[in-house]
Structures are given as C-alpha cells and as structure tokens.
C-alpha cells in the first residue's frame, strides 16, 4: 500500500485508508523560521507530530524543508493552505487526494454557492444539515426551528465569578513534551528562532486518546451548560462552557463529524438541551466548514482585500501581547489570555480583539497574520474568512451583512469587565472615555460613506449624526491613534 504523507494537521485515523497504512511525517524547522508563532502553539504541533510518530508504521523525517524529505511514491490528502497545495503539486510521485477533516465536500459547497449573490452562513448551515441529516426529524429541523441563537445569547449570570461547568481534564505531559520543550529552548538560543507568548504546561490534546477524553468530558459535563452563555464573558472564567476542541479538531485528531454525532446523541438521549446542541453543531458543521470552503472559493487575493482602506500597523504592545501595558480591563485580560494560553473563546476574539483592531483601522492582513501566529488553533484557512471577512469587514460584506463593531455598552452587557475598569462604558470623551465606546463612534465617522448603503447600519449612522460632541471625540481619537499607546 502506498505510504500516506500526513501533514501535521492530518494526524487522526480518518486521514488513512486503513488503520495499518504506512505513514510519512515531516518535521520542518523552516516553518518556525517564517513566522514568530506562539510558543505553546509550536509546542503543541511538535508534540502532536512526535506522539503520532510512535504509532504504527511511521517514518518521521526531520528536515529543513518538506521537499528534502519526500523521496518515494506517496499519497497525500489535500493540504489546508494554498502554499502547501502548490508544493504537493510540484513534487514528483506524490498523488493528491480530496480533502478530509471537514464534513462537506468542495463539490457540495460549490453547488450550493454558485449563482448566489451573497454567501451567508445561515443558508449554508441549513443546506449542510439537510444534506448530512444532522439534527433533523425527517425533512424538518429537530424541534421545529433551524436557529436557536436567541436562546444562546444571554449575558453572563450576575453575581457569579464562574459558570457551573466542570473544568476539562488536565493534560499530563510526558517525556516527548520534555524533549519538545528542550528543543524549542535550544532553537531560541542557538538558531535565532523566536516565539511570542509565554511557555506553560501543555493545555490541549496532542494525541487521539487525549482528544477523545476531552470530547467525552465536554459532551457529558459541559455541553449541557454550553448554550445560554455562549456569547458571554466573565473575567474569572476564561473558558466558560466552550469545548476547547478547536486545536484538536484542527490538528486532525478528531473528525468533526464524530464530534457532531456525539453532540446530537446527547440531545437524543435527553442529556443536553436542544438549544445548546444546535448552537454547538452550528459552530462546527456551519461556521467551521463555511470558512474552510470560503478560503478556497474566494480568489487568492481575498486575503489582501481592504475595502475600508485600513492601513495602520499593529502597535508593538498588541503585537507582542504586552497585556500589562493595557489599562482597559477587558482588553488587558483578553490579551493576557492569548499571552498565557494561546486561546480565548470566540467573543473575546471577535468583540474585543477584532473589534478593537477594526475600530483603530489596523491593516486587515496584519491582523490576520497576528491571529494566525498567536493562537494555538490558528491556520491560514481559518484566519482568512474569520479575520479578514468576519472580524475586520475588509471584504465589504461578502460574508457578513454588517461589521462586528460595538462599543462599551455591548461589552458591559455581555461581560463583568466594566465594573472593575478605570474607564466608563457610557463615557465617550475625556479621561474616563471607554476606548471601545469612543472607538466605535470614530469607526462609524471614518467609514460613514462606505457604510451608508447598508440598511443594517442606518440606525447606528443616524445615532452618529445626532452626537453633539463628535468633533471633540474625533480629535481625542486622532490623538490616541497617533500615539499608538495602549489604552
Ligand atoms: P466552541 O465554542 O466550543 O465551538 C466548537 C467548535 O466550532 C470549535 O472547536 C471550532 O472547531 C468550531 N468553530 C466555531 N466557530 C468557528 C469559526 N468561526 N471558524 C471555524 N471554526 C469554528 N477558530 C479556529 O479554529 N482557529 C482560529 O485560528 C480561529 N481564529 C479566529 C479569529 C477570529 C477573529 C474569530 C472571530 C474567530 C476565530 N476562530 C478560530 C473561530 C472560533 O473563535 C474558535 O474556533 C473557537 O473560539 C475555538 O474554541 P472552542 O473549541 O472552545 O469553540
Ligand atoms: Fe472594556 Fe470599556 Fe468596559 Fe473598560 S469600560 S472594561 S475598556 S468596555
């Protein structure tokens, strides 16, 4: 049987044709020279690759580049970046197979997308549920409704510091992790390779066994409380009831379909409520597959689109995850989460980090690159639509109907950050002005012309025109942006 070349994000059994198929793994140092990744991401990927090398008939080649390591006939499942696909196509003797690791196929997506003016998640998600018979009762959605988002948008419960969701089981590091840590220390010392973020105990699965344990734990203990506070943030509970499964799914250790099936089974057995299960399935079958297909469906130039003409560079305190330099409590806490874990959940990514960057007019490509490097689950395919399209609105609305811009009032409603902050979410101008509130209005003012035709922005723009202190606010924000100092 032809040996299967597995990239480091194709490590689970669903990337093989039979369990005993011989495997080639390549550990390439060049990857870490190209970008300064989060130290914990480098650790996780290397640990996962080296653990996989211990299972079955595996040839692990350590090489500077992939091309050096490939010298026999191989098959490979479609890789997850354009650069890797180009490389595979150029190498002689390597047969490129269709992608695995997603629920829907490229043909399904293209047949759904072609001829549509707007590509919207909700429409794709319904198509995918019907097509793959997920959470369906015959031809109808389970429970009679496709979308239970309204039940999943509650603010955090008041007066509590944590949700009542048992923490995921801790990972126990082994001698492979010890070796990885020593190698990374040496690369930093001797090879000039640099990382961002803090090192720390490995927090995410590097093996299929660890990943399955996390999945079982999530479905049993955390999925039942996942739904209502899915969009909420608590300073004392960075994980809330999220699954933390993205690093394992993106490494290929879990098949997204098995994750979806376990969640649906919990609903069918009465162990988890429909709203939470629907919300969770929507994330994986909907969002994850959607952004994967958009990466390939949109033209390669999509990554560089910049419809709002945002051209500022990322300031160094943000690029280097210097959370201690930041006084704004929400931003400081979220940035510290990235620095210490390489992971924060969806709302801090979208409504704190992405929102702040968009308000300031930072270059979308640089923001996408920052997310790619700084998150343990970051890969090019997932960044492009999530950051450039969804969080920075740099595509002018090809994948979302309005910018995810929000001021302090939203963050105050959906978190417990504002109470302990030196800023006031209601104040726009002056020393106490919340940077998100002031940033929101200055974003609208700067982009008024570009957003005027969007009917969902009519109300906010009317609000902007009614502001009596707009001139003072814009002067203040220009000065703050000019200084590039942390808020
Ligand atoms: P849960 O809330 O438990 O959701 C379950 C699963 O759904 C996740 O594990 C993930 O596999 C999938 N999922 C949910 N939303 C998305 C989405 N928008 N795109 C793709 N998959 C999704 N996700 C990544 O996997 N890697 C990234 O680098 C990444 N960067 C992001 C950057 C920005 C600016 C934004 C707005 C979102 C990003 N996401 C990314 C999507 C999402 O925030 C994470 O998948 C999620 O927070 C991971 O935590 P979790 O596993 O606990 O997710
Ligand atoms: Fe964040 Fe503004 Fe609230 Fe402070 S007041 S925590 S900066 S939203």
Average the pLDDT over 391-417 and give the result.
Answer: 95
Q: Which ligand is nearest to the CA of 326?
A: 2
Average the pLDDT over 105-125 and give the result.
Answer: 94
316 burial type by CB count under 10 A (0-12 exposed, 13-18 middle, 19+ buried): exposed
> Which residue's alpha carbon is nearest to atom 1 within ligand 2?
330
Residue 149 has pLDDT above 90, yes or no: no
Residue 72, number of CB atoms within 10 A of its CB: 12
**Residue 478 has which token pair?**
């220009």
**367 CA: nearest ligand 1 atom:** 34
pLDDT tens by residue, 37-72: 999 999 999 999 999 999 999 999 998 878 788 889
Residue among 155, 234, 412, 427 whose CB has most ligand 2 atoms within 8 A, to mutate: 412
Q: Please tell me the distance between residue 237's alpha carbon and the centre of ligand 1 in angstroms.
A: 18
> Which residue's alpha carbon is nearest to atom 8 within ligand 2?
408
What average pLDDT does the chain have? 95
Residue 483 has pLDDT above 80, yes or no: no
pLDDT tens by residue, 347-357: 999 999 999 99
Residue 449 has pLDDT above 80, yes or no: yes
pLDDT tens by residue, 320-334: 999 999 999 999 999
- What distance in Å separates the CA atoms of residue 276 and residue 224, rounded to the nearest whole number? 7
Average the pLDDT over 404-420 and give the result.
Answer: 96
| Strand-pair partners of 60 | 25
**Residue 249 has which token pair?**
């799914």
Residue 282 has pLDDT above 80, yes or no: yes
Residue 11 has pLDDT above 80, yes or no: yes
Q: Which ligand is nearest to the CA of 422?
A: 2
pLDDT at residue number 404:
96
Ligand 2 pocket, residues with Cβ under 6 angstroms: 328-330, 408, 411-412, 417-418, 421, 423-425, 434-436
pLDDT at residue number 384:
92
> Which residue's alpha carbon is nearest to atom 7 within ligand 2?
328
Which of 89, 200, 378 lies closest to 386, judged by CA? 378
Q: How confident is the model at residue 406 (pLDDT cuts 50, 70, 90)?
A: very high
- Structural domains in the chain, sorted by start: 3-97 (3.40.50.620), 106-171+206-297 (1.25.40.80), 304-483 (1.10.579.10)
């Amino acid at each position: 049987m032809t040996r299967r070349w597995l990239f480091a994000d194709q490590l689970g059994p669903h990337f093989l044709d039979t369990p005993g198929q011989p495997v080639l793994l390549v550990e390439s140092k060049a990857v870490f020279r190209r970008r300064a990744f989060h130290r914990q991401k480098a650790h996780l990927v290397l640990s996962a690759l080296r653990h996989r090398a211990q299972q079955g008939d595996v040839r692990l080649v350590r090489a500077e580049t992939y091309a050096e390591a490939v010298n026999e006939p191989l098959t490979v499942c479609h890789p997850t970046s354009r650069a890797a696909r180009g490389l595979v196509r150029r190498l002689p003797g390597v047969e490129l197979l269709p992608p695995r690791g997603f629920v829907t196929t490229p043909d399904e997506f293209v047949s759904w997308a072609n001829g549509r003016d707007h590509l919207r998640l909700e429409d794709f998600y319904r198509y995918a549920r019907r097509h793959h018979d997920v959470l369906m009762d015959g031809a109808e959605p389970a429970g009679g409704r496709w979308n239970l988002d309204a039940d999943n948008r509650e603010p955090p419960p008041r007066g509590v510091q944590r949700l009542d969701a048992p923490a995921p089981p801790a990972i126990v590091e082994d001698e492979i992790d010890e070796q990885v840590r020593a190698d990374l220390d040496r690369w930093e010392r001797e090879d000039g390779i640099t990382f961002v973020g803090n090192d720390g105990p490995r927090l995410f699965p590097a093996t299929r066994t660890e990943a399955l344990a996390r999945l079982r734990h999530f479905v049993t203990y955390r999925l039942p409380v996942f739904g209502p506070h899915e969009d909420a943030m608590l300073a004392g509970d960075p994980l809330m009831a999220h699954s933390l499964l993205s690093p394992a799914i993106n490494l290929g250790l879990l098949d997204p379909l098995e994750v979806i099936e376990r969640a649906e089974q919990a609903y069918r057995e009465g162990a988890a409520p429909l709203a939470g299960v629907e919300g969770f399935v929507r994330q994986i079958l909907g969002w994850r597959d959607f952004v994967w297909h958009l990466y390939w469906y949109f033209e390669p130039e999509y990554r560089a689109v910049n419809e709002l003409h945002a051209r500022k560079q990322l300031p160094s305190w943000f690029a280097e995850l210097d959370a201690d330099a930041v006084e704004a409590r929400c931003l400081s806490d979220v940035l510290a989460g990235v620095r210490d874990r390489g992971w924060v959940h969806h709302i801090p990514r979208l409504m704190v980090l992405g929102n702040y960057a968009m308000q300031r007019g930072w270059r979308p490509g640089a923001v996408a690159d920052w997310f790619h490097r700084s998150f343990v689950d970051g890969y090019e395919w997932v960044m492009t639509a999530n950051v450039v399209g969804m969080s920075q609105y740099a595509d002018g609305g090809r994948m979302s109907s309005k910018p995810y811009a929000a001021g302090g009032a939203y963050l105050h409603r959906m978190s417990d950050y504002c109470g302990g902050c030196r800023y006031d979410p209601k104040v726009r101008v002056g020393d106490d002005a919340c940077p998100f509130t002031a940033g929101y209005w200055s974003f609208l003012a700067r982009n008024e012309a570009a957003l005027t035709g969007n009917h969902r922005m009519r109300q906010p723009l009317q609000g902007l025109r009614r502001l009596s202190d707009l001139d003072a606010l814009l002067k203040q924000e220009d000065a703050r942006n000019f200084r590039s100092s942390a808020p």
